């Protein structure tokens, strides 16, 4: 069906949505809250127009997008059928964001998947996690700050390079996204504490108990009852006690590395890390990433 003259196409609306999201971020960074609110209102209106243009009446009269607006409108939830039936689960990046937010520390894909499966409905497909960080970096470099958050790499404290296999959230403080020699233990304890506190708000499901047991079995004093069962309050207390021992020296190392990162790295490198560069000795070919010159 031909589109009425002057009515934006879905592609034009998506472009405008990306522009508005970036403008909202710039306004917030500049402290212009009134301007940000105006831009946010226009963004919601444009997203609603995108839904009307693409979905028509399938979403129901007066329906508006819900949930985070970190990707083109209309994909906030997995699409259902043409009959307007139930929608699917959250996209993978939102599932990962939920798990990382609960953990509160850099984590490997396997742990992220275990946490999501224990505390949330559904599972994260492991195959999708392998390319997720690369997709996020590509998106950021194409349209910086177009999304409210990015799933990015943890940075090593020594080289400020991507830490292998560890994901973080771009909205976390830089110090929280850096890992030093003591960070694996402090992050493990931080995650154990947060999961235990969250689980302690109600009777833990069996899947949650199994996850907590994995943490408790590696923390002195956290296991006090039957094998395979954990008291969240006891786990939280034990994790907190050991965390008090390691937190300050780890924090100092992270803060020093974060200061170097702010001074030396650009916006993209502060999220996704810097790459090791080739070093050339006089009269020799470059040595790359520790390769021995010949």
CA-nearest of 110, 119, 90, 130 to 212 is 119
What is the per-residue pLDDT for 3? 52
What is the per-residue pLDDT for 210? 94
> What's the pLDDT tens digit per position in 97-126?
999 999 999 999 999 999 999 999 888 987
Burial class (CB in 10 A: 0-12, 13-18, 19+), 122: exposed
CA-nearest of 180, 183, 235, 173 to 204 is 235
Tell me the three state secondary structure of residue 31: coil
Q: Where are the alpha helices (DSSP H) in 92-171?
A: 92-103, 109-119, 126-129, 132-142
Name residue 153's beta-bridge partners.
167
Q: What are the CA-CA distances from residue 8 to residues 53, 59, 76 (Å)?
A: 9, 20, 21
Sketch the domain layout of the chain as residue ranges: 8-73, 92-265
Query: How far is it, in rounded angstroms, from Cα 281 to Cα 218?
Result: 47
Average pLDDT over residues 193-203: 94
What is the per-residue pLDDT for 89? 56
CA-nearest of 249, 185, 192, 233 to 215 is 192
**CA count, 13 A, side-chain hemisphere, 251:** 8
Backbone angles phi, psi at 248, to 5 degrees: -65, -50
Query: How far is it, in rounded angstroms, from Cα 43 to Cα 56?
Result: 19
Whether the predicted model's global pTM rises above the 0.85 cut: no
């Amino acid at each position: 069906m031909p589109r009425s003259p002057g009515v934006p196409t879905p592609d034009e609306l998506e472009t405008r949505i990306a522009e508005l999201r970036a403008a909202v971020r710039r306004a917030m960074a500049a402290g212009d809250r009134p301007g940000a609110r105006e831009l946010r209102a226009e963004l919601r209106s444009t997203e609603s127009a995108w839904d009307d243009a693409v979905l028509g009446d399938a979403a129901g009269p007066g329906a508006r997008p819900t949930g985070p607006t970190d990707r083109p409108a209309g994909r906030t939830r997995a699409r259902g059928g043409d009959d307007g039936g139930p929608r699917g689960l959250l996209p993978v990046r939102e599932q990962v964001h939920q798990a990382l937010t609960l953990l509160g520390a850099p984590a490997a894909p396997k742990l992220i998947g275990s946490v999501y499966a224990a505390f949330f409905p559904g599972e994260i497909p492991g195959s999708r996690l392998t390319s997720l960080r690369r997709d996020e970096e590509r998106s950021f470099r194409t349209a910086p700050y177009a999304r409210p958050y990015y799933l990015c790499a943890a940075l090593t404290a020594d080289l400020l390079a991507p830490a292998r296999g560890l994901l973080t959230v771009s909205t976390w403080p830089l110090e929280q996204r850096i890992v030093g020699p003591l960070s694996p233990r402090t992050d493990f304890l931080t995650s154990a504490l947060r999961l235990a506190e969250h689980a302690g708000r109600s009777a833990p499901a069996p899947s949650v108990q199994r996850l907590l047991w994995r943490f408790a079995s590696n923390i002195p004093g956290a296991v006090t009852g039957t094998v395979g069962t954990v008291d969240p309050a006891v786990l939280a207390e034990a994790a907190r006690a050991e965390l008090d021992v390691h937190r300050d020296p780890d924090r100092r190392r992270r803060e020093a590395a974060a200061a170097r990162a702010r001074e030396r790295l650009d916006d993209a490198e502060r999220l996704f890390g810097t790459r090791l560069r080739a070093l050339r000795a006089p009269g020799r070919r470059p040595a790359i990433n520790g390769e021995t010159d010949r």
